[in-house]
Structure 1
């Protein structure tokens, strides 16, 4: 039996510049962190030659092509496993077709590839896991998504990630002390809006608007660079300001990124003392992230008492095998 554990992510700045329609014109840059919310994949040998996949439902098929779960189906094909295997997945935060803004579908793709390769007795690099997860989601399945989620899930840590015109990707870790990292972590708050959305719909609109959006995306790339500089210099108050500036840009990328309830909750948090924040992921729902000094957090928590606060920590490691047995 093999079990892989793959982190979800929080994106701070530059989101949207990881779409090919942007970075094929000019390099995209995002700043993201892996967090201690995970996707778990269990892979086990079946007694017979069938393929069994369990998630919110269970599929038992004779042929890989008959699987309805498209990410697991394509991962099995890439790894070269055609029969006699059971794949089960679960998450710390329930995952399904609707997006929650933490990159869960890409964490699933990376995690299932990692577990399947381990099942075959192979160790593969984080770069390969990320690249093949992108191949599954973007090239094979045609999802209108970017590349940052796959790379942060595979590599872990806090990174700036650059996406280049030749399709190469540079992952550059942000290095700072444990004390500095803890101080930053203590100023971040995350709340679930209760809204879920189909992220591909929002991203498809965003891709269609790329010419009109380029000015905003250029600014968001600049904000990702400035945020990295601020983190390295321990200038944390700028982080909140950058989050706010990025959110003001992001709202312009597609018509459904925000809505009345999200706008109202964001303003409640700002009025209560948050310095800045943003909606995570493509938008339209999922999680709100805020940067807030510790002395103001009780006020923000009270202002958003109708939402579920979801504490998190930074995760330094990417997808890993946490159990291996015969």
Structure 2
């Protein structure tokens, strides 16, 4: 039996610059994001089955005779990549409801990375975080045709609090955020996370965003520049600038595709800012899921009261990426 544990992620800045159509044509020669893994996880259990059948358990329950019959598209493709064709049981569990696809925490990529990690370990293979990320990208982008970027797969595979650069030649560099501990602690203390109560199919938003990247290059360039600014702000201790920069980036992001925001989200965001939030954003593609806010400590009670109709979610940064936590 093998069990893998893979974190979800929170993307702060640069979302959209991890699309191939952007970073291959960027005037900087790269796209860039800053994100952190979160202490919320996807768990995959893999076990040998007594007979030749394949059993897959998630919010559904499948028992089939061949890989091609597996309906869960990510797990089906992970089995094909790792060459496992029979006598296997794969069980998917998570710290979030499995039905909550499209909540902006990269749960699909965490599933892809986690199941690949578990299946490789089941075969006695140790693979690197980069290999897991690239195989997950292959599943989601090449096999399933999803018009998405590549930050999520790397963020959940690598873990930690990092700046990622997506280079024109296709390479990805991972640079840990290095600053004084009091600066990073201050950042963490000033972040709040609320669940909007909305889930959405992000494919329509992402399709529109991907199709119009050529028309949005200036806005995406500004997001890359924001990544560089906020990194320096954190080093310098100007942590409150993260709040103002989140607000600027959110205003840019809302113009990338229809549906990124909604009247309800706009009202929720305005209520938070009126109560003292300096800025924030909807995580992921937009349209629902989780709202991240930067709120100075002395204003957090007021913001929580203003958003009392929404669920506040406590979280912390997670230093580790996908790993095997049990092998027998």
Normalising by structure 1, we get a TM-score of: 0.98
Q: Which moved more, 1:177-186 or 1:124-133?
A: 177-186
Which residue of structure 1 aligns with residue 169 of structure 2?
A: 166
Structural mapping, 1:275-286, within 5 Å: 275-286=278-289
Counterpart-to-counterpart distance in 2, 1:176 and 1:4: 30
Counterpart-to-counterpart distance in 1, 2:74 and 2:209: 23
1:307 aligns with 2:301: no
Counterpart-to-counterpart distance in 1, 2:9 and 2:142: 22
Counterpart-to-counterpart distance in 2, 1:177 and 1:235: 12
Q: Residues 277 and 97 (structure 1 numbering): CA distance in 2 closer, same or farther, change over 3 Å?
A: closer
* TM-superposition CA deviations, 1:30-82 (whole Å, max 9, x none): 11110001101000110111110000011111110111101001111111111
* TM-superposition CA deviations, 1:248-301 (whole Å, max 9, x none): 110100011001000000000000001110110000000100001111000000
1:186 aligns with 2:192: no
Which residue of structure 1 aligns with residue 103 of structure 2?
A: 100
CA contact 2:58–2:98 (8 Å) conserved in 1: no
Runs of 4+ in 1 over 6 A off after TM superposition: none
CA contact 2:141–2:147 (8 Å) conserved in 1: yes
1:82 aligns with 2:85: yes
CA contact 1:97–1:198 (8 Å) conserved in 2: no
Q: Residues 14 and 267 (structure 1 numbering): CA distance in 2 closer, same or farther, change over 3 Å?
A: same
Cα RMSD between the aligned structures?
1.0
CA contact 2:101–2:107 (8 Å) conserved in 1: no
Counterpart-to-counterpart distance in 2, 1:315 and 1:247: 24
1:253 aligns with one of 239, 253, 256 = 256
Counterpart-to-counterpart distance in 1, 2:180 and 2:94: 30
Which residue of structure 2 aligns with residue 127 of structure 1?
A: 130
Counterpart-to-counterpart distance in 2, 1:181 and 1:123: 32
Counterpart-to-counterpart distance in 2, 1:139 and 1:178: 40
Counterpart-to-counterpart distance in 1, 2:180 and 2:89: 42
Number of positions where the alignment pairs a residue of Structure 1 with one of Structure 2: 325
1:216 CA displacement = 1.0
Counterpart-to-counterpart distance in 2, 1:191 and 1:39: 20
CA contact 2:64–2:70 (8 Å) conserved in 1: yes
Which residue of structure 2 aligns with residue 213 of structure 1?
A: 216
CA contact 1:213–1:252 (8 Å) conserved in 2: no
1:229 aligns with one of 220, 227, 232 = 232
Which residue of structure 1 aligns with residue 9 of structure 2?
A: 9
SS in 1 for 2:98: coil
1:296 aligns with 2:299: yes
Counterpart-to-counterpart distance in 2, 1:231 and 1:298: 24
Counterpart-to-counterpart distance in 2, 1:61 and 1:230: 53
CA contact 2:279–2:294 (8 Å) conserved in 1: yes
Counterpart-to-counterpart distance in 2, 1:178 and 1:232: 10
CA contact 1:101–1:280 (8 Å) conserved in 2: yes
Which residue of structure 2 aligns with residue 148 of structure 1?
A: 151
Counterpart-to-counterpart distance in 1, 2:106 and 2:220: 20
Counterpart-to-counterpart distance in 2, 1:114 and 1:156: 14
Normalising by structure 2, we get a TM-score of: 0.97
Long gaps (5+) in structure 2? none
CA contact 2:101–2:108 (8 Å) conserved in 1: no
1:212 CA displacement = 2.1
Which residue of structure 2 aligns with residue 36 of structure 1?
A: 39
Structural mapping, 1:198-209, within 5 Å: 198-209=201-212
2:321 aligns with one of 318, 322, 325 = 318
